[in-house]
Amino acid sequence: MKKQPLILTLMVVLFINAVATPILSYRFIQITRELNRLKSQYNAVNGNTQLLQQMLSESIEYSKKNPALDPVLERIGVKAKPTTPVTTTKPTLK
């Protein structure tokens, strides 16, 4: 019986394929599970961000009616501190 290189090559490729397929399939399942977990975390963070933005905009609107809230909003950086304009008076020449 002659050794046929094509058959030997095909058998090696088949063996490599038989070993690699379950390994790659398992890894694919792990990555898919992690992706689903990260998607749910992303959705939760996104929902919290939207809720926080809505609450901050309502706080800014409320601070227009109740200025006592302004120091709190200024401290967390939501509202800019009011700046007092510097007035320079020039002496009048007589």
Overall pTM surpassing 0.75 (yes/no) = no
26 exposure class (CB count in 10 Å sphere: 0-12, 13-18, 19+):
exposed
The domain ranges of the chain are 5-75
Look at residue 87 in the predicted model and tell me its pLDDT. 64
Residue-wise pLDDT tens for the chain (94 aa)? 567 899 999 999 999 999 999 999 999 999 999 999 999 999 999 999 999 999 999 998 988 898 888 888 888 888 777 776 656 676 677 6
